[in-house]
Structure formats: C-alpha cells, structure tokens
Amino acid sequence: MYVAVKGGEKAIDNAHRFLAEERRGDPEIDEIAVDQIAAQMSLAVSRVMAEGSLYDRDLAALAIKQARGDLIEAIFLIRAYRTTLPRFGYSDPIDTASMAIDRRISATFKDLPGGQILGPTFDYTHRLMDFALAADGQPPAPAPMAETEVAPNMPRVLDLLGDEGLVERAAGTAIDDADAPVGDLTREPLEFPTSRDMRLQNLARADEGFLLALGYSTQRGYARNHAFVGEIRVGEVAVELVPEELGFAVDIGDIEVTECETVNQFKGSKTVPPQFTRGYGLAFGHSERKTIAMALVDRALRCRELDEEPVAPAQDEEFVLSHSDNIQATGFVEHIKLPHYVDFQSELELVRRMRRDAGAAEAMAAE
C-alpha cells in the first residue's frame, strides 16, 4: 500500500544536525574562534559588512563562522539580522577628507600633498604560496615605523582638480543642493528611472563579483569611460549623529571605510569648456576591488545625465541594479531546488499530449 512520504519535519531537523556537525568538522581540531576570524580574515569581514550593509566586525566574523566560510550565506545572515535592528535616525555624511589614513594612493599624480601612502597592500607582493604560514611559525617582526607621521587631513585629489575647475563638481547630478532629500534603498522599493543616491546605495551593497565583471567590461570597450584612479583612501572616519533632543552632533564611533574616486572621460562642447567627469565608490572596511569597480559602474550608469548613448550592459540601469543584489540573486537562483513538481506535471501533460497528437498525425499522413 503506497504511503505518502511523511516526516518532512524530522528530515529537516536531522539535516540541521548534520549541518552543525559538518560546520564543526573534526572535533580533534581546534574550533575557530570568532575573534580569530575578525582579526586574521579581516578582508572577508570587510566584504560581509559592506554587502550586508551593517558595520559590526564581530557580528560579521560570527556570520562567517556560522556560514562555514560561505561569504554570501554570511551576508544573508547579516542582512536578516539588520532587519530586526531598531533605527534611531540618519547620521551626518561621513567626512572622508578628515580620514585617519592607513592607505592613500593616486594614479593621476606622481606626488601630491600628503604623499603616496602604500599601506597594507597585496599590490606589489609576488603571488608565491608562503608555506611558512602553514607551519604556524613565529609571528612576523613588527613593520618599521616611518620617520614622519602620516599627515592628518590630506586634501582629496579630486578637490584639488575641482578647485581649478578641471573636474565636474562633486555632486555631479542635477540636484546640487546638499540639503536635498536622500532616498533610502532599504525603506523604499527601487523605481526606474532612478536617482543617483539610490543607485549608489544599490552599488554599495552590490555583489563584488558582479560589479567587477561589469567594471571590467567597460575597460574592454563596452562603454569605455577612460578611468584614472584619482584617489583611493582606506582608513577610519568618525560617524556623527545629531540627536533631536540635543540639537548638536555627537560622535558615536569610528568606522573603517574605503573610498575610490575616479577621474573619467572629459566632456565639453563649443559653449562649455571641457571638464573631467567622475565616478565614485565607497564601502565598509578595506574593500578596494569593490570600490574601484563600483566607481567604474557608477560612471557608466551616469550616461543619461552626461548625454551619452547607452550601448553597453554596464550602462543599462535596470539590468545592472536589478541583478546586483546577491541575496536576491542567490535566493532566486537557488529556489529552483524547491519542489516544482505540480507545475512540471502540467508541462508533462502538455508535452505528452502534443507528442501523442503529432504521432497520430504522422500515422494518418503515412496511410
């Protein structure tokens, strides 16, 4: 006697327990600690904070541990947690010009006020596997201190160019008013056509791989915008909030951010003298690849305001912004694992019937 399979609940419970076992792995091996992840895998933590849209290193590290190292799964945990947090208000815009610099470089000038500060970068390493790391050797000798301190308040390269009028103004949109209302992507659904504030919010939490590929495509000629890195800065900035009751700003903490400003294809006409245009990237933590790609895509998506014909995928705002969120993407891509047998049954019935009818027609024609 056929008995419909029951016990889905039990199966799920057991699956979860198996999962927990796999996550822990061999009990003979030390368990990874959250603080180890936070301290020694800080670039993973940066990505999870950036795409999770939540600045909390320990939480991101915990998410990475719980997700067994799957960063998108960790980002999902952070996003879901973020939904439950109470919102107190909006901070003032952070002032990256007064960043406590760890790293600051510019490709547009050999030298500039404040200097080229390389910071902790993979850039010039030779990508050779360091087997000494596997051997759990001694901690490395501390890096030597420089003779002079890093200058506080280094001026932004793009501000310097801007002073000469060589590059368009920072806002770069029709809304130049600093007090104009800013949308909130997490509170309103994105509607097309978008405004730049919503676009940048979407890009700030967008999947790094997706933006990387799109940015790359612009360089290879799919709407090339001749980008130079005006400046990349990595370091800490203060976050300030003006509580209603106080009426003045209070410093609620420091966060590490990465900011990338690109200088792009200049525009001009007979009546308007030429100026460089710009792209912008900003992310939590140390996230260079993300911010450079973001700046390239930001510039590509500004085609409408800059009167450029959209011809390439990176310029298609509906395409880019609808598919940039990896939590939405992974949810929908992976959902095809769910049972779909009712709809499949409907298709089966149709195809079987059509094949039967075609077979009958052929048989009749043969007679």
Partner 1 sequence: MSMAEDGGYNFAYLDEQTKRMIRRATLKAVAIPGYQVPFASREMPMPYGWGTGGIQVTASVIGPDDVLKVIDQGSDDTTNAVSIRNFFAKTTGVRTTEDTAAATVIQTRHRIPEAPLRAGQILVYQVPIPEPLRFLEPREIETRKMHALEEYGLMHVKLYEDISRHGEIATTYAYPVRVSGRYVMDPSPTPKFDNPKMDRMAALQLFGAGREKRIYAIPPHTEVKSLDFDDYPFDVQKWDVPCALCGATDSFLDEVVLDDRGGRMFVCSDSHFCATRRAEGHRGADPTNADAFLMEAAGR
Site residues, partner 1 (CB under 8 A): 1-2, 4-9, 11-12, 76, 79-80, 82-84, 86, 186-193, 318, 322, 327-328, 330-335, 338-343, 345-350, 354, 357
Cβ proximity to partner 1, 84 vs 148, nearer residue: 84
Tell me, what DSSP letter sits at residue 260?
Answer: E
For 196, residues 6+ apart whose C-beta sits below 8 A from its C-beta are: 172, 173, 175, 302, 305
Smallest separation, CB 316 to partner 1 (Å): 10
Shortest distance, position 360 Cβ to partner 1, whole Å: 12
8 Å CB contact between 114 and 151: yes
Q: How far apart are CB 204 and partner 1 at their closest, in Å?
A: 15
Instruction: Please identify, using beta-carbon distances, which residue of 47 and 286 lies nearer to partner 1.
Output: 47
163-167: which pairs have CB atoms within 8 A and are 24 or more residues apart? 165/273, 165/275, 166/275, 166/276, 167/230, 167/263, 167/275, 167/276, 167/277, 167/278
Q: How far is the CB of 31 from partner 1 (least distance, A)?
A: 24
Would you put residue 342 in left (φ > 0), alpha (ψ -120 to 50) or beta?
alpha
Surface-to-core class of residue 112, CB atoms within 10 Å of its CB (0-12 exposed, 13-18 middle, 19+ buried): middle
Closer residue to partner 1, CB minimum distance, 5 or 133 = 5
SS3 letters across 102-160: EEEECCCCCCCCCCCECCCCCCCCCCCCCHHHHCCCCCCCCCCCCCCCCCCCCCCHHHH
Q: How far is the CB of 293 from partner 1 (least distance, A)?
A: 23
Nearer residue to partner 1 within complex by CB, 221 or 339:
339
Q: Which is nearer to partner 1, 126 or 337 (CB)?
A: 337
From the CB of 193, what's the least distance to partner 1, in Å?
7
Residue placing its CB nearer to partner 1 in the complex, 89 or 140: 89
